[in-house]
Amino acid sequence: MFSEVCIPPSLANGQLTGTTIESEIFKPGNVVAIACDTYYAPVSSTTTCQSDRTWVPSPECREVTCTVPILENGYYMLDNSHVSDGSLLALPSVLTPLCSVGYTPVPPTTRTCQINGQWSGQTATCIAITCGNLPQDFANGYYDVEGHSAPYEYNHAIMASCDDKFYLQQGGQRHCVGINLWSGDDASCFPITCASPRAFRHGTYNLSQNEYAYGSVLVPSCLNDYHLENKENHRVCVNKDTWSGVDPVCQISQDDRKNEPTSIEGYTITLL
């Protein structure tokens, strides 16, 4: 037996490995390796028995933690909760970068606390959202930028407009919502046409077809013994399925009205 031996050290959250002395008898100079449990790491990978029967360095397994990094113009989320800069999080915590309104994270990927106490992946940066170009051009129309030019800031609004004789079928106002990303759908302009206006009693229009081109003119006329009460004597296709003026009204002429039978208290009287 050795007079100078080290007692096997106690080690929480880990164990000693690689002993070379039987029956766990350690003499000065003996080196043992330290293995830690999951989520723990050794302060030193080995420890050595000293002549004074101590172990140097003192064997210890510490819980692995990672410090939450600073994210300018943003913050990190852990399990849908906001975590403060400088907080210590245990392995294997996963952080998600989020940015303030008007900014976006680059790269947007999550970061995981590793066994070495460092975060995986690249350091995120919150950069200002801008759109360097307008959305894709579209036929027979344009985007109204109201005098602004690229780059367009976050939430900057533009309006899709159509050339004369065309109407906007889809699209409209769009906003810069991401890096070179605009909200809404691509705009589409189609030729303005009008469906036939409603028929009116005792009269007709000069044309009769299912669809009319922009600028088409319809002239209403009344049947014999009727006259047009409206002052407007024509209607124009001015927008999609929109005619100028109002529906025509044909009234019976005054002279013909005198000859209409009139009933009074059961008697029929003819006006002369």
**CA end-to-end span of the chain, whole Å?**
150
> For position 266, what pLDDT does the model report?
45
pLDDT value at residue 270: 37
Spatial distance between the Cα atoms of 236 and 218, rounded to a whole number of angstroms: 6
State the pLDDT at residue 18: 67
CATH code: domain 193-255 is 2.10.70.10
pLDDT of residue 61: 94
pLDDT digits 0-9 by tens, 176-203: 999 999 999 999 999 999 999 999 999 9
Tens-place pLDDT, residues 83-110: 999 999 999 999 999 999 999 999 999 9
Q: Where in the chain is the domain with CATH 2.10.70.10?
A: 14-63, 65-128, 132-191, 193-255
Q: What's the whole-model pTM score? A: 0.64
Low pLDDT (below 70) residues in the chain = 1-3, 18-23, 255-272
So what's the pLDDT on residue 263?
43
**CA 74 centroid distance within chain:** 18
Task: Answer whether CATH 3.40.640.10 is correct for domain 14-63.
Answer: no
**How far apart are the C-alpha atoms of 175 and 101, rounded to whole Å?**
14
* 8 Å CB contact between 143 and 163: no
The hierarchical CATH code for the domain 132-191 is 2.10.70.10
pLDDT score for 5: 86
Is CATH 2.30.40.10 the right assignment for the domain spanning 65-128?
Answer: no
Check residue 168 and report its DSSP letter. E
The per-residue pLDDT for 269 is 34
Q: Which two tokens stand for residue 82?
A: 């906001």
